[in-house]
Amino acid sequence: MLGMDELFGIDVFSKKVMKQMLSAAVYKRVEETISEGKKLDREIADEVASAMKNWAISKGATHYTHWFQPMTGITAEKHDGFISFSDGGSVIMDFSGKELIKGEPDASSFPSGGLRSTFEARGYTVWDPTSYAFVKGKILYIPTAFCAFSGEAIDKKTPLLRSMDVLSKEAVRVLKCLGVEASRVLPMVGVEQEYFLIDKEVYKKRKDLIICGRTLFGAPSPKDQQLDDHYFGMIKPRIQNFMEELNETLWRLGIPAKTEHNEVAPSQHELAPIYESCNIAADHNQLTMEIMQKVADKHNLVCLLHEKPFAGVNGSGKHNNWSLATNTGYNLLSPGHTEKENMIFYLFLSAIIKAVDEYQDLLRISVATASNDNRLGGSEAPPVIVSVFLGEELTDILDSIASDATLSERKKNVMKFGVTSIPEFVKDSTDRNRTSPFAFTGNKFEFRMLGSSNSISCTNIMLNSAVAYALAGFAEKLEKASDISACVHEIIKEEYKKHKRIIFNGNGYTEEWAKEASVRGLLNLTSTPEALPYLTNEKNVKMFLETNVLTKTEIDARYNIQLENYSKSMLIEASTMLDMAKKEYLPAISKYQKTLADSVKLKQDIGINQKNKYELSVIEKLDKLSGEIFSIILKLEKELSKVKGIEGYSKAKYICDVIKVLMNSLRENVDKAEVLCDEEAWPLPSYSTLLFSI
Ligand code: ADP
Ligand code: MG
């Protein structure tokens, strides 16, 4: 067996491999591209391509793919063989610099939100040298960005890279004013990924899980998570085996999987890797989700990445831990010890507070999907109201800066900071607030609204560009300032006063907070259709245009796609529910009534003339329920036919306001019937079976 140092990244065309396989001059150029974001010249591509191919072939690869992330939120690949004919007619394995840099996968069936029809049907892919190529199976994967022929981005990676560029540019500008030399600043991200594992045989018996990834029906299990006995509990051997294989597969691909544990709900687990630069973390999270499903399958398990596979128990989320690091390895969100470090910390903190307050709508939109709507705000995940948790102490410090007040006596360690005194803030990791959507946790922020199946790209695009935009404003002031300390102080003070409303250290799950947030004028966008129109608001368009992260057409395309995705997934769920209710549940209810009626009849036939209270009362109750189920089905069918005539926003809104309500009441009635029926008469595995199948 290989040791960890040999195993980790063994299937990655890493810097180490490149250093061995490339000439010193070419390696240096590639290295500069990776670490400093410099453009890569076309001339060196041939040498890189040839080395990459030889390395991949030595690992057993026969094909390569430009791996990309279309706006569906998952990854896409089309395989091309290295196979080629030489001039002499013999077969050779070939791969040129041109093929490495650019691909034309056609791929015209991906959603483009109307972008491509107006330009050109074909899309093309461009190599992203900042994320390493890797071999999986017999394929060399080359991470790429996906664009329309006009150059418009039709994927999630391109705007992410653009947002990282602008963030770096503005952060470097600000740091320069503070006398800090850094050539690049990178957002660093660590993603905590939650998921469920259930037995494959049980899974196969449920159409809703197969088609929609979640249960659309199901009465609660008598025991689920009431006892909190699963959270951090002992990991069962079958799950442990899965985790071991998962870790090894991830490590081979250079994904630094580190922490694993059982989560709150039965059958729920979590995996967290060590943080990496945002772009790589995004690629790695996509790979992690894919590999979790593949490895689960090998163990006769199914990995559910849906946000809410089971009603009544916790759903799955994804925490986006985010900080900013210079190329020299300095974390700008680490509270400092010197005056300079403190200035940096409070200035960047102010930029983040400003960004989150001004673009709370964008953060909300970045996690808005039909599936995440089932989870957010349900007292298991943060509310839909975006707010920032700083903790009492940091809030106190900012309050006193804003009001020019001296701090209370308990702040002993006071530090001179320009014209004012700022106490040293000591990281207090016990000051945790699990209910906050955006919490400061010592030296990073943790955004907790993401659903387990969300791509992390959207959130980070919003966060990076909004923070970059705030920093650009700061840089403008600082570049003109004669007294930097005074200017920094003024910025912190003014921004805090303006954006203080976004800070909330209390319990985000309470009714009082919703009321208080409304008084503060914070947004409370309860559903995806309610949130999405904010994307195209003037202030958002302005920010995206000025940061060069998205053009107006690209924003419109994303709006259309997100809206369409919402409607489509809801309609698939509605049709699946109708199908199950008609073909599985109603017939089962009817059959069970017959069983009971037969038993009454049998008793009478043999001369037992009792009251048959149990049988008759259940028959009657089931009759009422099946009647109700049948009429909801008819209503739902009627409403669904109306939806066909509606488009865009009105369609999504109609689905949310009308169809979803009927779906909920259909479920409610079927679940009531489930409780009355004999387990054997019920055609689908129950929640107890699903949640405790392993
Ligand atoms: P929790 O206490 O929320 O379970 P941890 O502190 O263990 O979380 O870290 C969770 C994630 O945060 C991990 O993926 C970790 O690598 C990441 N993380 C830690 N420090 C940073 C940082 N400075 N920037 C970004 N992510 C970080
Ligand atoms: Mg966390």
Q: What is the CATH number of the domain that holds 88?
A: 3.10.20.70
pLDDT digit string, tens, across residues 420-466:
455 566 655 445 778 999 999 999 999 999 999 999 999 999 999 99
User: Helices in 178-271 by DSSP H: which ranges?
Assistant: 200-204, 207-212, 237-252
User: Alpha-carbon distance 544 to 557, whole Å?
Assistant: 14
| CATH number reported for the structural domain that contains residue 614 in this entry | 1.20.120.1560
Q: What is the pLDDT of residue 224?
A: 81
Higher pLDDT, 71 or 579: 579
User: Does residue 251 surpass a pLDDT of 90?
Assistant: yes
Least confident range of 262-266, 294-298, 481-485, 680-684: 262-266
Which residues have any ligand 1 atom within 6 Å of their CB? 188-190, 192, 259, 272-275, 321-323, 331, 443-444
Same domain, 29 and 63: yes
Q: What is the pLDDT of residue 86?
A: 86
Residue 40 is assigned to a structural domain of this protein: yes
Higher pLDDT, 132 or 42: 132
Same domain, 589 and 608: yes
Q: What is the 435 CA–ligand 2 centroid distance (Å)?
A: 11
Q: Which two tokens stand for residue 116?
A: 């491509």
Q: What is the pLDDT of residue 117?
A: 57
Residue from 321, 427, 448, 464 to probe ligand 1 pocket by mutation (most atoms less than 8 Å from CB) = 321
Same domain, 123 and 63: yes
Q: Rounded mean pLDDT of 117-132?
A: 75
pLDDT classification of 119: cutoffs 50, 70, 90: very low
User: Alpha-carbon distance 330 to 146, whole Å?
Assistant: 32
pLDDT digit string, tens, across residues 462-510:
999 999 999 999 999 999 999 999 999 999 999 999 999 999 999 999 9
Q: What is the 275 CA–ligand 1 centroid distance (Å)?
A: 7
Q: What is the 373 CA–ligand 2 centroid distance (Å)?
A: 20
Q: Which two tokens stand for residue 361?
A: 């709508």
- Domains: count for the chain: 3
Nearest 5°: CA angle at 329, between 327 and 334? 125
Q: Rounded mean pLDDT of 616-621?
A: 97
Q: Which of 98, 133, 155 represents a domain boundary (last residue)?
A: 155
Q: Rounded mean pLDDT of 538-566?
A: 96
Nearest 5°: CA angle at 82, between 80 and 83? 105
Higher pLDDT, 222 or 277: 277
Least confident range of 55-64, 66-75, 641-650: 66-75
CA distances from 532 to 395, 515, 560 (A): 31, 23, 9
Same domain, 187 and 63: no
User: Alpha-carbon distance 242 to 271, whole Å?
Assistant: 12
Residue from 275, 331, 460 to probe ligand 1 pocket by mutation (most atoms less than 8 Å from CB) = 275
User: Does residue 372 surpass a pLDDT of 80?
Assistant: yes
pLDDT classification of 410: cutoffs 50, 70, 90: very low
Higher pLDDT, 231 or 113: 231
Same domain, 39 and 91: yes
CA distances from 572 to 214, 236, 558, 656, 671 (A): 12, 35, 21, 13, 20
Structural domain including 525 reads 163-191+317-549
Q: What is the pLDDT of residue 242?
A: 97
- DSSP E strands in 282-330: the ranges are 301-304, 318-326
- DSSP E strands in 334-468: the ranges are 388-389, 414-417, 420-423, 438-440, 445-447
Least distant ligand from the CA of 447? 2
Q: What is the pLDDT of residue 423?
A: 57
Same domain, 444 and 575: no
Per-residue b or e along 476-493, where b marks 16 or more CB atoms closer than 10 Å to that residue's CB: eebeeeeeebebbbebbb
Q: Which two tokens stand for residue 193?
A: 């990924």
Residue 255 is assigned to a structural domain of this protein: no
Q: Which two tokens stand for residue 441?
A: 């946790």
Q: Which of 288, 193, 302 is nearest to 249 (CA)?
A: 288
pTM score over 0.85: yes
Residue 212 is assigned to a structural domain of this protein: no
User: Does residue 120 surpass a pLDDT of 90?
Assistant: no
Residue 278 is assigned to a structural domain of this protein: no
Q: What is the 434 CA–ligand 2 centroid distance (Å)?
A: 8
- Percent of all residues in the chain with a pLDDT value above 90, rounded to a whole number: 74
Per-residue b or e along 424-441, where b marks 16 or more CB atoms closer than 10 Å to that residue's CB: bbeeeeebebebbbbbbb
User: Alpha-carbon distance 283 to 280, whole Å?
Assistant: 5
